[in-house]
Chains A and B, each alone.
Chain A
Amino acid sequence: MGSIFSQISAVVAMNIRSLPQRFWMSLAMVIASAVVVAILLAFLAMAKGFSATLDSAGSENVAIFTREGSAAELNSVISRDQVNIIETAPGVVKDENGPVISPELYVIVDGIKKSSQTEANIPLRGIDERGFAMRKNVQITDGRMFTPGTNEMIVGAGILREFDGFALGEEVRFGKVIWKVVGVFSTGGNVFESELWADVKVLQSLYNRGSSYQTARVQMSSPNDLEAVRKFVADDPRLNLDVETEEAYFKAQGKQLSYMAYFGWIISSIMALGALAGALNTMYTSVAERAREIATLRAIGFSSLSAFVGTIVEALVLAAIGGAFGSIVAFLLFDGLNASTLGGSFTQVVFSFEMTGDLFIQGGIIALMIGFLSGFFPAFRAARLPVIVAFRNAA
C-alpha cells in the first residue's frame, strides 16, 4: 500500500483547495481566531511593555533603602540621621565628594492626561545632582538641569508625551507653588521618565518634610556588596530599614501589575470559547458538505486516518491564518503604542506596548488550540462515518 503520508497529503490538499466553496463559513472562523489572538496580544504587549519599563529602570549596583515594611517609596520615611549612618556603611562607593548617596523625596502631584483630559497622579521626585547621575542612561534631551534651591523642575519624556502642561518653559502650579519647566530628560524609556524631578531641599521645604526623606540610594561597586550593606543595617538598631538592589525593587513593583497578562489570558480564553463554538460549526458544516467526497475516498480505499487528519489540518490552517492576521493587526495597532496606567505607588507609569517574538508565539499557540479543538470532533465524525452511511447522506 502507498504511504499513509501520500493519502493524508492528498486529502489535506483537497480540503484546502475546496475552502473557497465554503468561503463565508471559513472566513468567520478566520476572523474569530484573529480577534482572539489580537486581543490576547494587546494585553500581553501591555503587560510586557509595563514590565520592561520597570525592569529596565533599576541598577544592580544601586542599593535602595526604605523604611522597614513599606512596600513602595511613597510609604517610606528616612530621617537625616539615618542617611548619615548609611553613608558610613561598607560597600558604599566614595568619590572626591565623599560617599555616593542620594537621599530622595517622592510626593504626588496632579496632571491632566492628554488622552482622556482627566486628572491623574504623577510622582514629583526630589533629588540632587548625585541622584541624577546615579540613574542609568539619563540625559537632558532638551533645556537644562534645574538650578538647586529654586522652583525649577525637569520633566521625564514620558510625562511630556502623555500629559498636558509640561512643555519646556511652561509654568506649572501645584497647590500654591508655581514651578518652571527648564528641561526634559530621558532615561531610555524606563519608569523614571514618568516622573518630574526637582531639587530635594526645595521639596522638603515646600512640603513641610523638615529634614526627612523617603528613600536613600547608594552606589555600590558591585551587587556583591549588598550583603555587607544588609549586615550593616541589621546590626544597627537605629536603622529599621529594608535594603535591596534597585533592580530587585523595580522587578517587585512590576510583578504587582503582572495581573494584566493573566487578565489577558482569562479574557482571551473566554473569547476563545466563543470562537470555538463558531469554529466547530464551521468544521461540522465542512464535513457535512464533503460527506460524498469523504465517502468516495473511503470507498476507493483511503484510510479513515486520512479523513481525520485532513479535517484537523483544515481547521488548523484556518485558525493559523486567523492567528497570523490577528498578530499583524495587533502589531500594527499596538506595537509602540504609548499609554499610562497606575503603578505601584498610586502614580501613573508611562510605558509603550511591546510586541516581541515570544508574544507572537503565544498568539500562535492559542490560534492553533482553537484550530485543533474545533477540528478534532468534526474530524472524528469524518473518520468514524461508515462509508455506507456517508453514501446515503450524500445521495
Chain B
Amino acid sequence: MTDNILFDLKGVHKSFTRGKETIKIFDGLDMQIKKGDFLAIMGPSGSGKTTLLNMLGGVDQPTSGEVLFDGSRVDTLSEGQLSKWRANNIGFIFQFYNLMPMLSAARNVELPLLLTNLSKKDRKNSVETALKLVELADRASHLPKEMSGGQQQRVAIARAIVSDPKLLLCDEPTGDLDRHTADEILEMLQLLNEKFGKTIVMVTHDPSAAKYAKRTLHLDKGEFVEKDLAA
C-alpha cells in the first residue's frame, strides 16, 4: 500500500511572520498523494493552495512536520540537494508559462536536460519527442513572443515532461488562457496522466479545469473542507 504513495505529508505546520504578527497557513495538515493521481486543489485566495504547491515542489519548507516523497524525507534537504531533487523528480507548469524569452521553444524545452548527463544528440532527440507530444514540432525554432499563449503553455508542458519527472506541479495552468485553449491544455494534462502515468497536482480557481482531474480537494484556511474528498 505504502509503495503506491508518492507524497505523504504528516502533521505539516506552516506559518509566516509579518512584522509582529504570525500568520498560520497550515496547522497539522495530513495528506497523501498516490502515484498516477491527477489531483486538483481548489480554494479561495489565501487558503494555502500555492503554499502547498510550493512545499510539494521543494521551493518552500514546512515550519514543522514531515514531507515524504516516495518514502524519503524532502523537508530536511539542503537548498543544493533540493535543486537536484527537483531536477530529477518535478516538472513545473506555471500560470504565465515562465519561458525564457530569448530562447527558442526547443532551447526552452532543453533547459532541464542540461542538468542531466545526456549527450547533445540525446538531448536533441528528447526535445523533439517532447515537442511532438505537445504538437509543436514545427515551432521548435520560434521564440516565445512569436507564439500564442496556448502554444507557449504547451512549450512549458514539453519543458516540464522532457526529463521524464514523476510529478507535474501546475500552478493555475489555464489561468491566462481562453476557454477553448484551456480545454486543449487540460486534455493534454489528462493524456499525460492517463497514457504516460504522470502524477499531476494542479492548483486552480476554475471548477471547469478541476473536472479534468481524477479528484479535487478544497482548501480553506489551511484545511481540506470536504474531508470525504481527501485521501
Contact = CB atoms under 8 A, between A and B. Distances in A.
Q: Do A and B come from one complex?
A: yes
Interface of A: 1-2, 6-7, 10, 14, 17-18, 21, 292-293, 295-304, 386-388, 391, 394
Contacts of B100: 14, 293, 296
Interface in B90-122: 92, 94, 98, 100-103, 111-118
23 contacts: A1-B87, A2-B113, A2-B114, A2-B117, A6-B114, A10-B111, A18-B101, A18-B102, A292-B98, A293-B100, A296-B98, A298-B59, A298-B83, A300-B86, A300-B92, A300-B159, A301-B84, A301-B86, A301-B88, A302-B115, A304-B79, A304-B80, A386-B59
Given A1-B117, A2-B113, A298-B59, 10 more contacts: A1-B87, A10-B111, A17-B102, A293-B98, A296-B92, A300-B115, A301-B115, A303-B83, A388-B54, A391-B54
B117 A297 contact: no
Contact of B83 (A21, A301, A388): A301
A297 B111 contact: yes
B94 A1 contact: no
A233 B59 CA distance: 85
Contacts of B117: 1-2
B60 interface: yes
Q: Report the interface size class on chain B.
A: 20 to 34
A1 B117 CA distance: 6
Contacts of B86: 299-301
Contact of A388 (B60, B80, B87, B92): B60
Counting chain B CB atoms within 10 Å of each CB, which of A18, A299, A302, A387 scores highest?
A: A299
Contacts, number: 71
A325 B111 CA distance: 34
Interface string B59-79: 110000000000000000001
A386 B83 CA distance: 12
A302 B83 contact: yes
A300 B79 contact: no
Nearest to B98: A296
B103 to A, nearest CB: 7
A14 B92 contact: no
Contacts of A299: 57, 59, 86, 92
B220 to A, nearest CB: 22
Query: Which 4 residue pairs spanning A and B have beta carbons closest together?
Result: A301-B87, A17-B102, A296-B98, A387-B59
Which of A21, A300, A304, A391 is most buried by chain B, counting CB atoms within 10 A of its CB? A300
Given A1-B87, A2-B116, A391-B59, A300 B102 contact: no
Nearest to A293: B100
Contacts of B83: 298, 301-304
Nearest to B120: A6
Interface in B8-59: 54, 57, 59
B57 to A, nearest CB: 7
B95 to A, nearest CB: 9
Nearest to B91: A300
Contacts of A300: 86-87, 92, 111-112, 115, 159
A382 B80 CA distance: 15
Contacts of A293: 98, 100-101
A14 B84 CA distance: 21
B111 A303 contact: no
Given A2-B114, A7-B115, A14-B102, A303 B80 contact: yes
A174 B111 CA distance: 80
Contacts of A394: 98
B117 to A, nearest CB: 6
A50 B84 CA distance: 60
A304 B59 CA distance: 13
Nearest to B156: A296
A8 to B, nearest CB: 10
Contact of B114 (A10, A292, A296): A10
A301 B59 CA distance: 10
Nearest to A9: B114
A152 B116 CA distance: 85
B154 to A, nearest CB: 17
A388 B98 contact: no
A388 B60 CA distance: 6
Contacts of B101: 18, 21, 293
A214 to B, nearest CB: 71
Contacts of A387: 59
A394 B171 CA distance: 14
Select the residue from B59, B79, B92, B159 with max chain A CB neighbours within 10 A: B59
A7 B84 CA distance: 12
A5 to B, nearest CB: 10
A301 B79 contact: no
A15 to B, nearest CB: 9
Nearest to B92: A299
Contacts of B87: 1, 300-301
Best-surrounded residue of A18, A295, A298, A387 (most CB of chain B within 10 A) = A387
Contacts of A388: 54, 59-60
B84 A1 contact: yes
Contacts of A297: 111
Contacts of A10: 111, 114
A329 B159 CA distance: 46
A300 B87 CA distance: 6
A296 B118 CA distance: 21
B134 to A, nearest CB: 17
A313 B79 CA distance: 23
